[in-house]
Structure 1
Amino acid sequence: MEIELREIHDFIARHPPFHLLTPDQLAALIPYVSIRYLRRGQPFPPARVEEASFYLIRSGAVELRDAQGRLIDKLAEQDSYALPCGDENGTAPHAQTAEDTLLYVIPCKQLAPLRAQNTDFDRYFSLSAPQRMRLALEGVAAMAGEGSERIVMRLPVGDLTDRQPVMVQVGTSILETARLMGEENVSAVLVMEGENLVGILTDRDLRQRCIAAGVSRHTAVGDIISRDLVTVQEHTILADALMEMTRRHIHHLPVMRGEQPVGNLSVADIVRYLGTNAAFMASDIDRANSIEALQHVSARLPELQLQLVVSNTPARQMGEIISMISDAITRRLIALAETKLGPPPVPYVWLAGGSQGRNEQTAHTDQDNAILIADTMQDEHEAWFTELSRFVCDGLNTCGYIYCPGEAMASNPRWRKPLSTWRGYFNDWIERPQPRSLMLSSIFFDLRPVHGDSGLFEELQQTVLQLARGNRIFIAHLVSNALSHRPPLGFFRNFVLIHDQKHDHTLDIKHRGVVPVVDIARTYALSEGIAAVNTWARLEAAQNTGALSQEMGRDLIDAMSYITALRNRHQAEQIRQGLPADNYIDPRTLSGLERGHLKDAFAIIKTMQEILENRHQSGRLI
């Protein structure tokens, strides 16, 4: 898929209702997406679009007005306009662009077959927002295990409100209130009379009761609010609060501690908490205009990891989601840097390595990255790339992705080089393998493009795969490296546990469980010329080449999935307790069932390592 289509695909995939489509359905739709550019003040929907279409705003803004010209709504970046494709015959508002606007346009007739194939996608066009929210909740509950529903739905709502409510007094004018809502970036404010909560004002109220009704902007908010207020106490469980919101058809619910408001729970908060907030985070990242704003979004990553575990998200998918957020933060930092520095002097591509490169991250690992630059680079271009790498790596560190202890980062001049230099690096590492190159293999043999000219990376990758495939000496070193990370021998009596003050009597699940499978998968991939870098994908590809039997491949995939899931659950529990997440599991905290499964997983890894060792000693590649 060419770069422009890939960008369209990635943008659309993050936004409702297209997140409900399968990958194949989404891929089939993308060729029918057209792009329209409208200057400020032009009619919307755009002229010369002859067929009914769905519109997704890529950038810009659109104002919707009633027949009298009064503003009733405003669509901004990432908002959609689906009225032409809906099942209800609503009255189309008068609309025009409020600023230069870029649109993605999708003919309704192209959505029709997808609606017929995908019930959830079809419901988007026929259900109201509260109904869609309820449907999403039912879907999450259906996917969640028995324990996860108990954890999420029985959490007190006080735990879900992460900021103090924005409040105004009854005498505050509509204008002042609207300004405050904009400054605080909230969709509702609580209205107080002295120390008492008497009402709530939402952005919808502003549109319907003020703008559409022609009420003066200097009118006091106390004159327009409804005083039939519904509240919940902070100890109310989420399930009960959600039922109340659904029954009352309300979108905001003040959370009280006795008689004092301590939060304002919204439908968006609930949907965000119930597992769909990766899309929300990606949207917030795209909107961020500073490192500080990105830092604020990134701080939610541990919560996202907790939610993904609670909702029983498969380990592979969870790593992909967390890595997607890391990619988005990286790309946004690059965009901010390029805004500051100007366009790049020559083509380049930013690469992620290590767990991010493999799409296997957990929240806030250290950063591993590099820059691959076109060979047209001149000496005078070095300053630009130095500033870029410094800005992005410093920004990642601020966002919680700490500097790599081994300095395997683009800010290190050694890992910020032209294509020819990188080819030389890999040629040395493969043709003359040394302990240093084996140490680097976990980072630089797992590279993946994040931003820029992916063609440069493809050229480098082809070189690497051609050099590595069938290279007996290099593969022998990879096998030796894969055998250096052994799972514990035996079980708890003989568990190789850590004995130090900080992690006493714990098992390092990453280095004794995850890393051995990652190393095995990398060995197979490089020996067979497999381009994939994700561990699951490498094992699947190795099965397809015949180098790895279907049975052993399936067993290794299961072992990787179980060990990673156990690690994820361990970290989620630490996050829930407000502790920093790590990889050190106390075996005494595991149930008998968990211990049995872990023993089986380690046995699979041990068997596979023995097979690798025997083949290596017999002179076979692997």
Structure 2
Amino acid sequence: MHTPPTPAERDTDDALQLAALPVRALLRRPPVTVAPEQSIQAAAQTMREHGASSALVVRDGALLGLITDRDLRNRVLAAGLDPARPVADIATTRVYTVQGNDPAFDALLLMARHNIHHLPVTDGGAVVGVVSSTDLQQQQSNSAVHLAGAIYRQDDLDGLVATASRIGQLQRQLAAAGTSAHVTGRIVSAMTDALTSRLLQLAQARLGPAPVPYAWVAAGSQGRNEQTAKSDQDNCLVLDDGYDPAQHGAYYEALARFVCDGLNACGYVYCPGEMMAMTDTWRQPLRRWRAYFETWIDRPDPKALMLTCVFFDQRFVYGERQLLDTLRTEVLQRTPGQRIFLAHMVSNALTHQPPLGWLGGIHTIRRGEHEGTIDLKHSGIVPIIDLARIYALAGGIAAVSTRERLQAAASSGEISAERTRDLIDALDFLGALRIQHQARRLAQGQTADNFLRLDELSELERRHLKDAFGVVKDLQGVLEKRYLAGRF
């Protein structure tokens, strides 16, 4: 007899749908539009005719604003405003948008962050529809999305710490439902983004408005949308070039300290290498970040290579997105064709090798705290991340997540489609092993780690593990011949 799913299983299934479902799939009709000079009354009649709870204020195809049923109630009726006035007088002009290809999960998080109920959807710059909170509620995950909503409702650090403690349970639910590592990483990273964003909002409530624009940027696994459980922090601040250390330095130091201390309290421990926005070096204006990357690319010493691996995996989290977009565009214009730099990156990547012997056997760690285990992260997953990063650097590929980099590399010719499929399959398999292993440890009250004993696996899983390691080792060999043959 079929057993009905538990509430946790239903919640997790919904999370999967939201993470995989593009926003455009939720659109039910073209957008309802009105001209800015149209009267409020005429706009309300248009909305009634279409049975719409919102309308976009548009001129010559350009989005100027948004009006909703709430605006008509609160800004017109309750305020006694003349309905003959132009609709532009009551429109919200600072409108957040999402793209049609964005996951529905991202749209719901954006609504939660800004307490809004309607999001225009764009495609190639054109507005193609509006998604509402009602549309998303039909798909939403009571687990992941309600947790994000709870994060944004907290008014102090104690509340955030208590809410963040539920993220481990979320990961266990995802693992129990057989959620892929790709989707799990995206959901867990989204929770970290939400915590970071709320901490920034609380910091600005305490410190006042930011004196110059800034972009809070995630790096490392959070930047790639590939976090599992709780990890250390990798973040930075890209400041507008109007930044003056004498005038603005104390503000941004306090802002960064508040957020990094808050993340640490929530379980995201300080980066051992201090690669965080609270470190002066990583809290700099755009011009300084340009200089950093120029130096790292032109003089790729070991430290520069390590920093490139961390900070090339950057993703915008909060603030002024254009600051990071400008930096990444300029970096990606520099790296293709830089064969000396790429050769050093390959050489650095080869320091992480799958634990395969000459005869194909899997070697476990021989001594120390983790004797008898394999390090799924550094022996399997990190080498794939490194390969994908090199393909991105060589091809000027803007994607940040490992999967998207591999897919883009296949399209650009950096790697064949067949080898791309093999690497993605290996990444998915290794990631699944890692998530299941961490879930078992969390369920036992232990700290999540990456050290797996082979006796945790079935014989079939061990064979798959050998195959996955073999794929990685083969692709490492291909890049070694391409960039290092006769060089070192």
TM-score by length of 1: 0.59
Q: Give the stretch that moved more between structures: 501-510 or 319-328.
A: 501-510
Q: Which residue of 2 aligns with 1:375?
A: 241
Pair 1:22-2:21 in alignment: yes
Map of 1:182-581 to 2, 5 A cutoff?
Answer: 276-379=142-245, 380-490=247-357, 494-581=361-448
Q: In 2, distance between residues paired with 1:587 and 1:319?
A: 24
Residue pair 2:439, 2:448 contacting (<8 A) in 1 also: yes
Deviation sequence 1:339-381 (CA, Å, 0-9, x none): 1111111111000000000000011110100000011111210
Deviation sequence 1:308-334 (CA, Å, 0-9, x none): 111111111111111011101100100
Residue pair 2:389, 2:405 contacting (<8 A) in 1 also: yes
Q: In 2, distance between residues paired with 1:368 and 1:486?
A: 24
Unaligned runs of 5+ in 2: 1-13, 35-43, 55-67, 75-113, 121-127
Q: In 1, distance between residues paired with 2:29 and 2:340?
A: 45
Which amino acid is the alignment partner of residue 299 of structure 1? S
Q: In 1, distance between residues paired with 2:401 and 2:142?
A: 23
Pair 1:311–1:33, CA change in 2 (3 A): farther
Pair 1:286–1:413, CA change in 2 (3 A): same
Q: In 2, distance between residues paired with 1:29 and 1:338?
A: 38
Pair 1:484–1:425, CA change in 2 (3 A): same
Residue pair 2:47, 2:53 contacting (<8 A) in 1 also: no
Pair 1:19–1:520, CA change in 2 (3 A): closer
Aligned residue for 1:363, secondary structure, equals coil
Q: In 2, distance between residues paired with 1:565 and 1:531?
A: 26
Residue pair 1:33, 1:105 contacting (<8 A) in 2 also: no
Q: Which residue of 1 aligns with 2:92?
A: none
Q: Which residue of 2 aligns with 1:595?
A: 462
The structure 1 residue matched to 2:48, chosen from 47, 50, 56, is 50
Deviation sequence 1:177-201 (CA, Å, 0-9, x none): xxxxxxxxxxxxxxxxxxxxxxxxx
Aligned residue for 2:397, secondary structure, equals coil
Q: Which residue of 1 aligns with 2:97?
A: none
Pair 1:401–1:34, CA change in 2 (3 A): farther
Pair 1:103–1:330, CA change in 2 (3 A): closer
Pair 1:612-2:479 in alignment: yes
Pair 1:386–1:542, CA change in 2 (3 A): same
**1:459 Cα offset (Å):** 1.0
Pair 1:453–1:29, CA change in 2 (3 A): farther
Residue pair 2:360, 2:466 contacting (<8 A) in 1 also: no
Which amino acid is the alignment partner of residue 358 of structure 1? R
Q: In 2, distance between residues paired with 1:447 and 1:106?
A: 26
Q: In 2, distance between residues paired with 1:58 and 1:418?
A: 40
Which amino acid is the alignment partner of residue 179 of structure 2? T
- Greater RCO structure (CA 8 Å; 6+ sep): 2
**1:28 Cα offset (Å):** 5.1
Pair 1:57–1:417, CA change in 2 (3 A): farther
**1:619 Cα offset (Å):** 7.5
**1:105 Cα offset (Å):** 5.5
Which amino acid is the alignment partner of residue 50 of structure 1? R
Which amino acid is the alignment partner of residue 299 of structure 2? R
Pair 1:21–1:586, CA change in 2 (3 A): closer
Pair 1:21–1:584, CA change in 2 (3 A): closer
Pair 1:366–1:426, CA change in 2 (3 A): same
Residue pair 2:19, 2:187 contacting (<8 A) in 1 also: no
Q: Which residue of 2 aligns with 1:131?
A: none
Deviation sequence 1:58-117 (CA, Å, 0-9, x none): 99x99xxxxxxxxxxxxxxxxxxxxxxxxxxxxxxxxxxxxxx9864699xxxxx99xxx
**1:490 Cα offset (Å):** 3.2
Q: Which residue of 2 aligns with 1:147?
A: none
Residue pair 2:354, 2:469 contacting (<8 A) in 1 also: yes
Aligned-residue sequence identity (percent) comes to: 45
**1:470 Cα offset (Å):** 0.8
Pair 1:485–1:462, CA change in 2 (3 A): same
Pair 1:494–1:454, CA change in 2 (3 A): same
Count of residues paired in the alignment: 398
Q: Which residue of 2 aligns with 1:149?
A: none
**1:505 Cα offset (Å):** 0.9
Residue pair 2:384, 2:427 contacting (<8 A) in 1 also: yes
